[in-house]
Structures are given as C-alpha cells and as structure tokens.
Structure 1
C-alpha cells in the first residue's frame, strides 16, 4: 500500500484532499506545516507528497529543498497544490526544486485523482533538478514580489475600508440630521406623542403632549405613568373609572395596538376635565423584538361637544313632525330621511336612503320638475305639491325647498321640508264649495231673471211657429229659439260648473278668459244700474293656477264691489302685466320681486274706512248686516292667492271707491287657444242605439235627431223596460245611451246589469246634474263617454261616433 503525505496549514484544505483520495487504496498521512512534514517523512518514507506552496514559517519551496537534501527522498514524488504562484517564473522555480506536478486550486476531484495516479505510476527516479546559480536570491525575489502584491491588495482593502468609514460617518450624520428633523416634526405635531421604554418609563414628551396635559416643560413628575396617578383620573365616556393597569400605556406594553380610544381625563389638582383620544403601539427592532412604546393623544373635548350638539340637533330634526328630506341634486338620491318622513310617507329610512326621490314620492313627473326651475333661479321654492305614499295614498304637502351649493357654486343638494296639508286642503275645498253655494244663492235672483229672459223668447217663438209654420218669419223665429236655448244652457252650465268646481288642478291660464267669464256672470246677475267692463292687454302673461279657485277670487271681489254700489256705479275687471321691483316688494307683505300677471277689481262704491283696511282679510270680519255675509270671502280669497304664491294689494278712498289687485306669478308661455273650424257632422251607418231616458221630450227629440242622421233607435222609458228590450236585441244593439237619474233603476245600476248580460257593450252616460260623485264608479264599469244635458246635435253625434267606432257589434239586419 502506497503512502501519501498531505502538507497544508489549513485544515479544510487537508480534509478536502483526504476526502478526495480516501477511495483509493492509499495510506494517507497529514501534516500542518513543512517542519511537521519533514519529521513524518523521516519515519514514513512516503511514495507521494502533496504540499501547499504558501505556508507560514516554511513555504513549499523551502520544504522541497530540505526534502531533497536527504538522499532517501531523492526519488519521492512531490505535487504542489496551490492557488498562487502559477506564473512561468513560479513553475520554473518549482521544477528547479524538484517538484514533479503542480495542481492549481480549484480543480475538480477527477483531475486531482488522475494526476495523483499518474505520479504514483511513474518509474521511481529522481526529479529533474535544473541547476540554479542562486536559488536563494530567486526564491527571495519571488517571495518579495508576492508579498508586494499582497501589500498592494492590503492597501486597496485599507482604502476601501477608509471609504466605507467615511460613507458610514456620512450615513450616521444623515441619520442624526434625519432624527433631528423627525424630532422637529414630532415636536411640532398637533397630536401629542409620548415615548416610553419597556418598563413604563416616560422617555420623551413632545410639546403637544405636555400642553394637552396642562404642562409647559418636562418635569420630574412626568417620568413614569405611575407618577401621574396622583394628578389624573381616567374614566370611560360613560363615567366608569379606569384602573391604572388599564391605562393606555400599560395596555400598549402588554402588546395591544390602540386606536381611537376615547376616555375622560380629569386633572385633580387643576380641577378640569377633558376628553382625550388615545392611540399607540410597540416599536420593534430588526429582529422583531420590542424596544419602546409610543402613545399618541389628542384633546377632542371641543369636537365631542360639537358632535353632541349636532346629535341633539339631528335628534330634534329627526323627531320633527314635518318630513325633512335631503337629496342629491344630480342623481336625486335621498341622503337623509327623518322620522317625520317615515310617518308621512310610510317608507322607513332604510328603505328610502339611496333611492331616487321621484321613485318614492311622485306619481306625476310634472309635480317633481315644477319646483326645479324656481330653485335654479332663486335657490328656494315654497308651494303645494301632490305626492304619493308607500300605500299609494294621494297627499298634498306644503313644500319648502332650499338649494344647497358647493364651494364652486354648483348645485349639490336639496333640503326639503314637507308638511302634510291633505286634510287642511279637504277642509278648504269644503269651505270653498260652501262659499260657492252661498255665492250662487246670492246670485239666484239674477240667475232667475236671466233664465226668464231666455225662456220668454222660446215660449213666444214656439206659439208663433204653431200659428204660422211656413211664414216669412219662421226661420228667424227658429234661430231665436235656438239662440235662447243655448244662452239658457250656458247659464245653467256656468252655475253647475261653479258649484261643483274641482280644486287642485293647476293648469296654464290666460287671464283674459278669467276676465271675460266673470264679466259675463256679472252682466247677467248684477243689477243693471252697475256698468260692468273688462280690460286686458293684447298679450297678457299666463298664470299657472286653479281656474275654479281664481274664478271664486274674482267672484268674491266682484260681489263685494256690487254690495258697495247700492245706488249703481261702475265695475272694472282688468288684467295687466306688471314687473314688481325690490322697492315695491318691500312695501307689500309676502311680496317678492319678479314678473306678475295681475287681476284688478275696481268699483266706484262707498269705499272702506282706513281704520278697517287692516282687518278686512281677517276671518269672519264683515261690515254687512247680519244674514248678508259670513266674513269669509276676503280671507278665503287671500288664502287662495297665497297658495298660488301671490299677494293682494288694496287701495280705497271713502266715497270714491275701492280697488283690489291680485298679483300672481307670471309664466312666460303662450296659452292663447287656437281657433279651429268645427268639423262636419258625421252620419251613422245604420247602427242600432238603445236610448233610455225617463224624460219623454228628451227621448223623442234625441230619437228624431239620431234617425235623421242614419241611426236606428230603440226607446226605453226606464231601467226595467231597457232590460227587457236589451234581452231581445242584445246581439244587434251597438251602443246604449242612458240617463243616470231615473226611477226604479238608475243609470249606474242599469249599466251594471247590462254588463253582466254583455260585458263588451259600449255605453254613453248622460245627465243634467253633477256626475262627479259617481264618476269613479262609472269609470270602474268601463264607461268613458259622457253627455252633459242639454247637448246639441253636434255634441250628441260626435260622442256617439266615438263610442260606436270602438265596438265590434254586428250591424242590425234590415
């Protein structure tokens, strides 16, 4: 077994070679220096020596030189295993010493084994030693060069180390500057910051922390949390005392991360109490070990007081009886919905918030859009709106809306305060209707006089025609009878319309129509000693209002004017376009600057005493004799005008007369009706009509008219007779024209009975009285065609044609 000696001052290099060669059948011996190797070789007589070159005290060259001085080792193979000295000069010197092979680190194990096997396989012969004149000098020169290289490397490393020291010092300076900057920032924070060590010692307080706790500088008594116990008491917002171990710092030292912990803090010595907001956490080093604790504190006393006031105000708003709503202007979505809104509309806040207001409150888009124009121009709106509840109940609200703008002046939100006035409006309607009936009673004498004037020509004309049907005046007499009948019909229609007027419908109105109609009523019903005149501009501004209510205002004012002119006089009803400026508006209660259409009622009566002018609009105030007035006319008129966002002015001079001027907001729109020529009267196509009416004259005239215009007619005097006839001819009858007020079976009951027999039958309802009370019932039965008595031929045929064109009943057989 061959022996291999491994010489290297580094144990890891020896272990690597031992591991590489242990699989060969070699005996391996190791030495840590050249001296130790020479001692071993004297005993072992190795076959191969593997030596490092650069070793302390004795390098590889000296080791080989001394090895070769012993004749016994002249033929021992030597391999240099080194990471240095591989230049040509080094190789030449190694060969001169008697080195057989050189292995340069690092080398893979296979190469090492191959060289070792090759060295041990060579014939034993001494290494070729090339004579060198001065080995010592060359060896010294070589070692000196390598040492110079090492010195240069050391100098380079020293320079790099110096540079690193400079850079580290700069970094430390920058760190110190950053820490100073951070200290300045922390010192000037509005939020208090307290730094503690892990034992609870208070290392640092910033200025805000001192100020918040009532100090001006860091005192000895502020060095630990326990030092503060004699000065401060902490409690929850509810008043529960907080023990020391639950104070914010000790909770943080236990590992809690605090955020928005609100506590009451009482300074026992200074006798004040405030509310602080605490936060804080542990600070960890790079090894995730805690090194200190930070506590943040803010005085939120003022903020909590403001919040409490806001909560109180919000609670007051939330429990207000009025519905208070806030919605976005752009997308109409609701952002606030108080208890009053829940009570009024039936929607809970959770149901309403985030929903568009139009989806919950409005059945009519016009009611929603109408206030927007006013809001955009003035920023405010006050008026009545029709809305709907969750249960589909129609309500009327008094709406006060305010437009809220953002800092840029753009619309942001709408604040709505809505008061339910549905019952109030019902009472007002009843009062207005009662007043209308009272007015009609007052006018009854004039109406009777006018009707007698109408009936006189009819009676005399009929007698004249009976005596002379073909005379030269017959045609003129017929025209007179027809004109008188139309006048009578118009009078009755006006009375009925006024008596049953439907309030609440706001439409565009041309003031000239109001003036013309009131002038006509006054001329017909007022004493002939009063001269009635109407005036208006060529293009009066339109009004958005309720025609019936505005008629009543004019009637109330006109009747007061009539009563003031017991001996006759002049009554002028006029419409004017007026611009109200700020000066005029300031003198009139409830007035605002803007464009107005005015309705003026002037008389030449006795006038109103100055002392009474301020009282005339008070309810039940009257100067008339008992039984001649309720004192509600002017107060009602003022209420109507205010509901139209208008106002009334009064000027009066005793003995000269009085002028009432009604100011109503103008709407810039053209409402003048287009006059159209009446379409030609259409004839029937032989359709069969069942005519039911208990008035024989009406029935006979209607039958003759229909037959003249190519309709077939079956007559019935009452409901039972109509049922019998219908049962026989139900398949041939195209339409049923029935009166509503009849004995035995009224019109509604008859329609219901005939519907059971033939559900798709078409009906026309006719009456000379108010049909409004039964209108909903008729519509529920599918009746959509109505004839108000008295009707003329054109109206009868127009309604009949419309009804017949919608049914598919077969024509009667001829």
Structure 2
C-alpha cells in the first residue's frame, strides 16, 4: 500500500492549488468587506447630507465627488444625472447616458430583477432595496454590479427621483469563477487516484472525500462536515485519534498517521489506516487545510488482532503484572516454565535470565524450602502449593514463608490453578505470587492508627466532663484550704488533692496532644520546655524499671517546629528505646548546640551548614549490628521479632524531622545500645526593639458577676470562689433564663463568665446575644475542650478571654482581670 511519501507530487500540486485558492478567497473576502463598508458609509452619508441639502449646488458637489457610482433616474427610468464613477463603470460619456435609460445598459435577463421591490418602494412600503445585476459596458464586456436603489427628493423638483448607487463587483465574480474551476480540477485529480482521499478545509469545517473513500464506508456519498467523520470514530479510539490530529495541527508531528475503526453506513466497525499532512498554514502557523489518504485494513487487522490476543497480550500481561507471575507446564517431577516475569525470576533464585529463554529447571522447586504461615514449620515436598497445583488442585490465596537470598523469611501469597485441554489433560498452570510483607505491615499500621483514633475519640469525648469534674474538685479544695490551718494535716491533704488534680489536667492535655494529628504550621519554639512537659507522660508510659535521665545543656534551643511534632518525636523514640531494654536500664535525653560545617556522609547530604540544636536519645538496650544501622530509617525495616514491630517508628520520626528542615543519624553496636541524633537548624528570632513601656492602666472595677454553666456543682463552686474574693454573683444553670435576667437589666452586671457547651444555646451564641444587648460587657468563656481545632474556633468568637477547664482560683482571677482590662 502506498505510504504518504508516495504522494509527494500529489501533495505539492494540491498545495499549490490551495495556496492560489486561499489568495483568491482572501481577496474575495476583502472585496466583500469593502463593498459592505462602502455601502454602509454611503447610505449613512447620503441620509445625513441629503437631509441637510439647502441647494442643488451642494447636492451636485456631493454627487460628483462620490467614490461609488451614483445615478439619478426619473420615474420612467431615463438618466437625469450620472456622476463620474458611473461614467467610468459604463464606458459611456455623461452626455451619452443622458440620452439613455437604465434598461439600455442592463442585460435583458436582469431587467426584471428588483421590479417588485421598486413597486413596493413607490408605494412607500420600503425606503430602499439592494439588487445584483449585470450591465453591458460600451465596449461590449459584462459588468457585474450591486445596486442600492432609493427614492430622493431634490428641492425645487416637483417629482421624486430614483437614485442608484452601484458598486462594481466584476473582479469579485471573476475570482469566484476561477476558484470554482480550480476546485473542479482539484476534485478530478483526487478522484483519479485509486484509494480513499480526503481534503479538509479546516476553517470552514468541511471535508471533500473522493468516491473511493465513500466506497470504503459502503456509502454513495459522505457528509462533508468534519463532525460527521469525527462521529464515526470508535469510542475506544476517539481520544487517541483526536489527540494525534490535534498534535499534528499544532505542528508537533510531521505527519498524522493512525490506525483506527470507523463506523460504516451498515453499522459495523471497519479498521482503516488514516494518514495526512497539513499543507497550508497562516503566517501565525494556524492550520488552514489538511489532505491525506485512507486505506481499508480491516482484513489485515483481524488477523493481527487474533495473533496479538493469543501472544502479545498474554506476554505483556505477565511481564507488566505488579506481582510475580508465571505459567508452567508438564507434570510433577517434570515441570517446565513457559513464561515468567522478572519478579517471578527474582523469587526463583536458582534461575537465570538465560535459563528463562530456554528450558529452566523445575519451577516447583521455588525457594527450595517453604514454611507454613501458621506455625512457620517447613512444608513437606508433596504439600508444596505448586506440586499440588500440577496434581490438579486449585490453590487460592494460600500464604507461606519463603527464604530469600539473605536467609530471611518473606511472607508470600500464592494463587495457582490447573488449565485443562480438550482431552482432559492439564496443559498449563498459571501462577501468581505476592510478597505480602507491606500488606501485613500496612495492616499493622492501620490497626495502630485505629487504636490512636480510638484513644483520641475517647479522650476528646471525656475531656469536657472530666475537666468539669476536676474544676469542681479544685474549686472546693481551694475553698477548704482557706478554712483549715496551714499547719495541720488537712491542709497538706488538700494540697495533695490539688496537685493530683493539676497532674490529671496535664495528663488529659498530653493525651489529647498525643492522639490528635500534628500541626503543620511551623513557628519558632523552644524545645526544652516541650521536653520537660513530655516527661510526665513518658514516665507514666515507660516501665518503672527504666530510668529516664535528662541533660539539657543547649543554650539556644529555639527551632522552627510545632509542639505536637516534638512530643511525637520524643514519644516514638523513647518508646522504641524502652522496648530495646530487656531488663533494667536507662534512657538519656540530652541537648546541646553545634555548628554544622559539612554534611555527614550518608545522612544529610542536603543539609544547610549553620548553627543547630542537637537532640539525642540514647538507650542501654541490646543495640543492633552497625552494618545495618543505616537501614533503621527505611520504612518497614525492623530488628524486632515478628509481630512486635511494624518498622514505621523511626521512618515516621524521620519524616517529621525532615519537615522541620532537619535530619537524623542512627548509630549502634552489639550490646552497646542505640543513639539517635536529631539535628535541627536554629530559628532566626528577631530581637525585640526596646520600647518605653506604657504605664499600665488598672483594670476596671467589677462587683456584680453573672456565671452561666449547665453544671450546678460548677455554679456552686465558682460562686463560692468569687464571693470569697468580694464579688456579688448571680449563678444560673439555664442559659435561656440567664439571658432573660440579663435582658431585664443589662447594666446590672460588670462581667459574665459563660460555659462554652450548654444545652439550648451554646456559649458562643450566648455571648453574641449579650453583646447585642450591651456591647461593652466583658465576657470570659470557659471551655472543657483543649484540642487546637476547637480552641482556634473559640478564639475567633466575640469574647474577651478564653479559659480552659479545670481552672484554679488564680486562673479565674487572672482571666477576670484580663477581660476587665480590655474594657478599661
């Protein structure tokens, strides 16, 4: 079949024709535009100037200077006036024309054209009309013109005249005839060729197809619209074909060449080979015309598809499978490998790439030694999955362990089934093998995440009620402490209760910090206070036999981080360290400063030199082989026993440290413990400019306080605490009732303390209602929720101070003073 290069001469000839056609079409468009513009301008000009004519002299000047042929006729069709443009158009002199009528220079076949419009104009139904006629030049040639006919009245004339404005379009008509002739020749050339040809006028969106093209699609004639061809493309081929055409139209490919399916008139799909090339572009490279061929390759494609489906698809499916896959044939003791992908060969460490091309050893010896997934005992030879599959058994999602080249047990999952021929014999056994190491680790990770989510849900759910309970205990303990002697046992017991409550408050906060997602907004923060704050949770979660020591000597510990991230780093590393200590031992947490001047090979090639904070966590555990210490940061790598570690602790920490711009190094030795060094660049903290402190204004005095909380016990506690400080307190557990009390006399209260979570109306809505009634009322909002998302939302509300429960008397006093100062 001829390729597109065999059409070179045809394309060159067609391209030359197209270029000439394009020039003609452009000139035609220019003339049409000029004609339209001239007509519009002339009509407007004539309307304006005729309306303002004061004398025949003015009319005559305009008449003679017009660039368009203008003639005046009486109602009998005789020339009355003819301007120079009409003289040039007709070839007759003005004197000759005055002895003639318009019918003398009009083709006889065109004389009746426009008669109806003329009569309508005389009756006043229309003011003007346009007509195209042929006129005979004095030399006998034909003149094509477009005439604008209208009625005019000239002052001093008893009857109206007919004015004709004539534009010569002879050149335009000649171009049209030439274009039609060239297109006719073009089609004859294309029809003379033996295979399907097409010529696509991209601008017009039409396509010419020769008869051979139509015959391929079993049609007598084909719709010339481009969309008709596009609609015939098979849905599975459409995107590919249209994308390749668009790429060629954009100049990204030298030719367009595609094999695809088209729908014939009889409704079935036929394979064709389409090829073409853009032969004409504008100066800006926009395509104008594209020509090409189409060949019927349906029979050839059917043969190719059959072969492809039986060979190539099978081979590519196996080779590209994201798991180990192979097909074997034969019988037990005489099995042969038909095809295997690279991953499968990797499991068959006794096979080489050269073996796979011929007849490799028996594939049933995969891994040589297999171990049960349930009890890790070696599987007997006759019970190996591939042996059983060759014997006719189907193996579905069966798990076992196989030894890799380093002697490590890899968990695998196998599927295998026998394929029977027509005679009933097993002709092949397809096999798929999956390394399920990551699947099992992911399952462990998901379980761990579910545990954390459960802890977070539990902590978030109970934090409000728990903090309310602590608030009641703390409040009453402080009241009782005022009533007992400071020298007695009761006072010491009350203080012990207070300390326990405050510790419980910190445990709840730390539990929420641990369970929720880490903040992603990094800002300058000191690491030492976060370490000290985390020690409480660490000491409660790590066995008492392990001692935690700190040596925090860094003079500058301000880095770009977020507290929850630092806490998670400490908890993960200290938990890892504690699990490595079999009996009694210690974990040491230390900090210092260092100047990073050059990279540490293998750990921080991308680190930026400069001053850093070093955080070290060292344990006295078993340690690890120094040769594999560098692998400690790899996901899923662990030295722990099966089921005791997911291998994600250090990688998670590593990811957090990298997000802060730092890096980690792990060093160890057998029975020497593990040391993890974390290097974080110091944050650049601008020194505050010295300013003269303004004299602090005293807080506004307050006497009457409104306390609203749905917990009656909390109302009692806070009322007692405040009254002991000299306040007059109105307490209310019903928020709606409290709102009515305030509405009755908004000036009665100097301050409102409102609980965030209440039935009927929440604290934020309650606060808004108070502000509506009195904009300057100081409001303290108390909340039992301490997670960051809730706190961010609460801080955005129209309140003066937010205080977390449980609160001490001192906390409450500070919150009141802060709220009052904002209204001083």
Shorter-chain TM-score tier: 0.3 to 0.5
Q: Which has the higher contact order (CA 8 A, sep 6+)?
A: 2
Normalised to the residue count of structure 2, the TM-score between the two structures is 0.39
Q: TM-score normalized by structure 1? A: 0.40
Q: Give the number of the structure whose alpha-carbon radius of gyration is greater.
A: 1
